[in-house]
Amino acid sequence: MLLPEESVVHGSSAEPQPSNAARPQDLPALDRLLRLSAVQALALAHGHTLVAQTARALLTELRARAIAGGLSVDALAHDALADALARRVHERLAPRMRTVLNLTGTVLHTNLGRALLPEAAIAHITAMMAAPNDLEFDLVTGRRGDRDSIVEGLLCELTGAEAATVVNNNAAAVLLTLAALASGREVIVSRGELVEIGGAFRMPDVMQSVGARLVEVGTTNRTHPRDYEGAIGERTALLMKVHTSNYQVQGFTSAVAEAQLAPIAAVRGLPLVTDLGSGALIDLGAYGLPPEPTPRQMLADGCALVTFSGDKLLGGPQAGLIVGRKDLVARIKAHPMKRALRMSKLPLAALEATLRLYLRPERLTQDLPTLRLLTRPLAAIEATARAVAPALQVALAPRYSVQQVALQGQIGSGSLPVERLPSSGLALAPVDAAGTGRALEALCAALRALPMPVIGRIHEDRLLLDMRCLEKPAQLLDQIGLLRWSDKRK
């Protein structure tokens, strides 16, 4: 794999004319192409339908190139045609979703799949997907069961909740909670918590979609207990606190904590619902990380319900978890929308296996990839950077320089947006300052084109590769040799 050359002439889209140009009538007929021995072997391996469809598309493209005068007769040789067809068949069969190396410095990267599943979860998924299972069958009574029961006991044990239910993501958890408890009524929320998260998911829009009326209190930067008290009326269904994902208001600010707000809700007989989003089940401060509120803490502070994600700090699959009072959870589970938002057997198996890891807290930094990466020692990250640097410099010289640097990473996915994780990595910079932007984009494209694509981040005219999430350096070292660069100007 060669990095793009700067000596290539840009600005011309005309295809070079081969000296031995092929004519459209030189192309073989489809049936003749399919009779080639190499193509017949391809059809035997993958089936006639796929190979014939791909061959037809290949001939159509070659015919267009021949009409334009841009096709060489060499491209019509039997071996060349068979090879081109085989490549296309393999490309069509290649999965669209691929594993990548996350060297961005963001551990829970939304665009790169968020939390890595623990080995225990992967093994349990494999076992449960390969055979029938008791997803909705009670093995004790022999009757229909409730799929939520697979994880409800674990969630109650880990959070201190009376009951729990799960849906396919946290946005769905919030949506279902509001639909079940506040449709046609009012929900009081601080103006400073009217968030928009990924995909334009806005809290006001969510409330409107389920027929709830949003009542804003306070201001963007300051909200007080009296603001909630003054807004409560006959139509109020619940009070709500919302985790402010991806940003933090700083300076002259004031917010009402759940412990302050719960008594106000209780006096009026209203439930207090809090959306934590990030889903930390443990005290992160005990591991040297910035603390995040946990569902157990929120329930102890008087919240009636807590919603949170499964694929962020919890370290499991995408899921929306709702824990809290038994009567409220029962109303949520009885809502017609619950079936549309329920979890399938695959993520449910992964969630159960992930939650079971929390029963052995002493092993979490070994067994839970998210916590293992977040707590990875800086010395180990620096050692990885040192191990990778020489090979990368050889592959990219003389066009790029490679320097080991101290970096600041982040947790990601809206968790602790202003906190940084000390890290280490490599800074790749063009030796020739002219055309720096184009050179860096070319390098990024070459890294993305590797068998296991490598994703970094561009910052201050350098491509940064953070080594925090690279636990197996061989995954990068074994393919660095593909990044060869030949300087034709020598």
- The 10s digit of each residue's pLDDT in 351-363 is 999 999 999 999 9
Measured CA to CA, the distance from residue 29 to residue 35 in angstroms comes to 10
CB atoms under 10 Å from CB of 145, counted, come to 16
- pLDDT at residue 132 greater than cutoff 60: yes
pLDDT above 70: percentage of residues in the chain: 91
Q: What is the pLDDT averaged over residues 446-451?
A: 96
For residues 19 and 206, the model is more confident at 206
Q: What is the pLDDT of residue 11?
A: 39
Question: From residue 166, how far is each of 49, 156, 320, 340 by CA, in Å?
Answer: 42, 12, 6, 12
Q: Mean pLDDT check: name the lowest of 63-67, 124-128, 484-488.
A: 484-488
Question: From residue 252, how far is each of 249, 374, 460 by CA, in Å?
Answer: 9, 31, 32
Question: From residue 164, how far is each of 173, 202, 319, 322, 330 by CA, in Å?
Answer: 11, 25, 13, 6, 9
Domain edges within the chain: 24-93, 101-109+375-480, 119-362
Q: What is the pLDDT of residue 244?
A: 73
Q: What is the pLDDT averaged over residues 474-488?
A: 79
The model's pTM: 0.89
The CATH T-level fold of domain 119-362 is Aspartate Aminotransferase; domain 2 (3.40.640)
**How confident is the model over 142-172, as pLDDT tens digits?**
999 999 999 999 999 999 999 999 999 999 9
As separate numbers, helices (DSSP H) first and strands (DSSP E) second, the chain gives: 19, 15
Q: Over the chain, what is the mean pLDDT?
A: 91
Q: What is the pLDDT of residue 254?
A: 83
Q: What is the pLDDT averaged over residues 255-273?
A: 95
- One DSSP character per residue, 292-321 reads ---HHHHHHTT-SEEEEESSSTT-SSS-EE
Q: What is the pLDDT of residue 10?
A: 38
- pLDDT at residue 219 greater than cutoff 70: yes
For residues 142 and 220, the model is more confident at 142
Q: What is the pLDDT of residue 412?
A: 85
Token readout for 32 is 């003749």
231, 201 Cβ separation under 8 angstroms: no
CB atoms under 10 Å from CB of 15, counted, come to 11
Q: Mean pLDDT check: name the lowest of 1-15, 401-415, 468-482.
A: 1-15
Q: Mean pLDDT check: name the lowest of 139-153, 190-204, 333-347, 356-370.
A: 190-204
pLDDT above 90: percentage of residues in the chain: 83
Q: What is the pLDDT of residue 182?
A: 97
SS3 224: coil
- CATH label, 101-109+375-480, candidates 3.40.50.11290, 1.10.357.10, 3.90.1150.180, 3.40.1160.10: 3.90.1150.180
Using CA of residue 292, residue 298, residue 299, residue 304, what is the dihedral sign? Answer: negative
- pLDDT at residue 233 greater than cutoff 80: yes
For residues 12 and 343, the model is more confident at 343
**How confident is the model over 265-295, as pLDDT tens digits?**
999 999 999 999 888 999 999 999 988 999 9
Q: How confident is the model at residue 488 (pLDDT cuts 50, 70, 90)?
A: very low
Q: How confident is the model at residue 204 (pLDDT cuts 50, 70, 90)?
A: confident
Q: What is the pLDDT averaged over residues 226-245?
A: 92
- pLDDT at residue 23 greater than cutoff 60: yes
**How confident is the model over 382-392, as pLDDT tens digits?**
999 999 999 99
Q: Mean pLDDT check: name the lowest of 110-119, 165-174, 240-249.
A: 240-249
Measured CA to CA, the distance from residue 456 to residue 464 in angstroms comes to 6
